[in-house]
Structure formats: C-alpha cells, structure tokens
Structure 1
Amino acid sequence: MIAGRRRPEREDRLVNPSASTVEPDHFRHVLGHFATGVTAVTALDPASNRPVGLTVNSFASVSLRPPLVSFCVGRGSGSWPIMRTADRLCVNILGVEQQAVCERMATARVDRFRGLDWELSPGGAPVLAGVVAWVEGAVEAEHDAGDHVIVVLRVHHLHGRPDGQPLLFLRGRYGRFAH
C-alpha cells in the first residue's frame, strides 16, 4: 500500500475478465514504448540434428533459485514445435551489430542459419557467433497465454561478454544505448 492512500475496493472487477475492448494495434503501439532486448532462441532438431531458431524479444529473468528464464513464442510459430522437443535450447542475446541476424531468424521459409557462424553450447544448443551473451537451458514448463506460449527454461550454462552492447527494439525500430 502506498503511504497515505487506501487501496480501492474491488467492486469494479469485470464480470467477464477475458472480455476486452483493447484493439491489438493500439496495444502494440502503447507497449512499443517499452524498450526490449532482442534474442534468437536456437536448438538442434532432434530428428535431423540441424539447427533451428527464431527471434524473440519477450525474454526475461524469472528466478535466481533455481535459475530460470522465460520467453514467449507465438502459437503460429513453425519452429517452436520442433525446438520444444530438443534437450537444450539457447537464448542468444543479440549485439547491436546483429540486426540482420534478428531479421533472418524472424523470416519464414528460409534457412535461418545459412551464412551464420555458430558453435555448440556445453549442453549441445547452437550459440551464434558475435552475441553479447547466451543462456542455455532445458524447458521447465510451458504456459498458455492467449496467442502465445510462455516458455520457462531452467538454466544450465550461460556466458556474457564484458564488452558487448545489446541490440534494442523500441517503437518498431532497432537501436543502441548512447553513452
């Protein structure tokens, strides 16, 4: 409770909390005011042993004990049904110079790894060359969330470059910190 203020009574609760008058375009515009980092989540397809990946900007730390992170994947993703069966996934935190990697990982029906350098994490997930940091883990849980799935990873290995500058996304544009 904020000092000097009482919390209002909850009589104003919606009868149907799933009903909303918020338009998707307006929702996207308003939430676009929140800067996010940009990641590429990667895995090896267990059936073909080929790398698969997708772009994600809804990445977050969840817990220190145990070490958990999360990201959200759209239900229409063609890559996620393959990736979710892998033993390990890697969240690659893209650097400011990796906008082209971000766009490649977001493009459907292309070989997203063509021309990209990568190596395997200790647990066997692709780590993209030049990323500012990476977090490798195993799927701990998935939660339904509207038109997305919230994925929780238990972290097994991670690494960050001390000199890396992350790629940022704000109001539909890519950018960087100005020092």
Structure 2
Amino acid sequence: MTSLTTPPTHVAANAITPEILRATMGAFCSGVVVVTALDDQPDGKPLGFTCQSFVSLSFDPPLISISPARSSTTWPRIREVGRFAINVLADDHAELSNKFARSGADKFAGVDWTLSPKGSPILGGVSAWVECNLWREYDGGDHTVVIGEVTALDHDIERNPLIYYRGAYLHADWRASR
C-alpha cells in the first residue's frame, strides 16, 4: 500500500532556527488571550498585552501558566501589581488581539471592559476570564514562564474562542463535542 502523505522532514538540533521552530510549532493551534491588570500607581490605568502562551497547569492548587516575552514592557508593570486577569478572546476578537499586541498606544481606548471581583480589567464579550495572583516566575529563555494562582473565573458557553493556527486567526463556527 502506498502512503499519500509526505514523510516527515527531520531537522538536526544545530539547524533549528527561530523560523523553523515557529513554522513547526504553528502546526499546533492555540487560543489567544489578553493579560490585564489595573496599574497600582495613583492614576490607576489599565494595562494589557496579547499572549498566545496560556495553559491550565494544576487543579490543586488551581494554577495557570502564561509566558510573556522578555521584551514585553507591560509584563513588568503587571508583575508589580501582583495580580492579573487572563481574558480568553472570542472568535470575533481578532482586532482586539492585534490592538493589545501593539506597543506604545492606549490599548484600552474604545474597548469595553469592567472590573473583576479583585479589581482586574475584564474585556467585554470574552469567552472566559481567569483572575490570578502571581505565584511564581521562571526563566524561559526569551520568555518568562509565569504561574498564577486562580482566585476567580467565569466563562460564557455561547462564545467560541479565537484560534491562532499557522500564523493566522481561525474563526470557529463550531461547538466542542462532549
């Protein structure tokens, strides 16, 4: 029997470039989140950035993990606050994802948001949100691995997530099978 698939291409460890790694890891689809906090400075401005690296880590204790880039100028400010919210973007939030991925602009201008029970910004229309206290941080190369302890959360079963796959957003028109 002849296989109709192309055999895998193997890349030696010393030939793994950021471009090859990005292309390979792009074969794994992920959700997109915006990490938010309310600055604890006197002006109390909301802070936020788009993050593709988010995962549930532990049920006992309830922990999640995100991995902001070391080049992020927003994460150090959120770290100082010590608590943050993960806003799981819905499938119609591609523009919102792009807005929070930019540096230097007022990311919250024109954005609908409210405060969570502990005071973190929750973006309007998200499919889920998880509020956390900063628990631990670890070196992750050009990223920081951040562990957050979950203190509050909610979800909207009617909202599908925004999905990122092979460098583009997918707009889901489906329901998960159970």
TM-score band w.r.t. shorter chain: 0.7 to 0.9
1:44 aligns with 2:23: no
Of 143, 150, 154 in structure 2, the residue corresponding to residue 148 of structure 1 is: 143
Alignment deviations for residues 53-105 of structure 1 (CA, whole Å, 9 cap, x no partner) = 00001000000000000000100101011011114200000000111110000
Give the Å deviation of 1:34: 0.3
Equivalent residue number for residue 71 of structure 2: 76
Q: Secondary structure at the match of 1:112?
A: coil
Paired amino acid for 2:112: D
Name the stretch that deviates more: 168-177 or 19-28: 19-28
Q: Matched residues in 2 for 1:88 and 1:98: separation? A: 24
Equivalent residue number for residue 59 of structure 1: 54
Name the stretch that deviates more: 143-152 or 19-28: 19-28
Paired amino acid for 1:106: A
Structure-2 change in CA distance of 1:178 and 1:52 (3 Å): same
Alignment deviations for residues 105-124 of structure 1 (CA, whole Å, 9 cap, x no partner) = 00011000000010100011
CA contact (8 A) 2:92 2:171 kept: no
Paired amino acid for 1:68: L
Q: Secondary structure at the match of 1:69?
A: strand
Could you tell me the percent identity over the aligned residues?
39
**Which consecutive residues of structure 1, in runs of 5 or more, have no partner in the other structure?**
1-18
4+ runs of 1 displaced by more than 2 Å? 176-179
Equivalent residue number for residue 121 of structure 2: 126
Q: Matched residues in 2 for 1:154 and 1:104: separation? A: 27
Number of aligned positions between the proteins:
161
Q: Secondary structure at the match of 2:64?
A: strand
**Which consecutive residues of structure 2, in runs of 5 or more, have no partner in the other structure?**
1-12
Equivalent residue number for residue 159 of structure 2: 164
CA contact (8 A) 2:160 2:173 kept: no
Q: RMSD of aligned C-alpha atoms?
A: 1.1
Q: Secondary structure at the match of 2:15?
A: coil
Equivalent residue number for residue 31 of structure 1: 25
Q: Matched residues in 2 for 1:66 and 1:74: separation? A: 25
Give the Å deviation of 1:42: 0.2
Give the Å deviation of 1:21: 3.3
Q: Secondary structure at the match of 2:76?
A: helix
Paired amino acid for 1:90: A
Q: Secondary structure at the match of 2:81?
A: coil
Q: Matched residues in 2 for 1:114 and 1:98: separation? A: 15
Structure-2 change in CA distance of 1:20 and 1:141 (3 Å): farther
Alignment deviations for residues 136-179 of structure 1 (CA, whole Å, 9 cap, x no partner) = 01000000010000000000000000111000000011013343
Q: Matched residues in 2 for 1:89 and 1:21: separation? A: 38
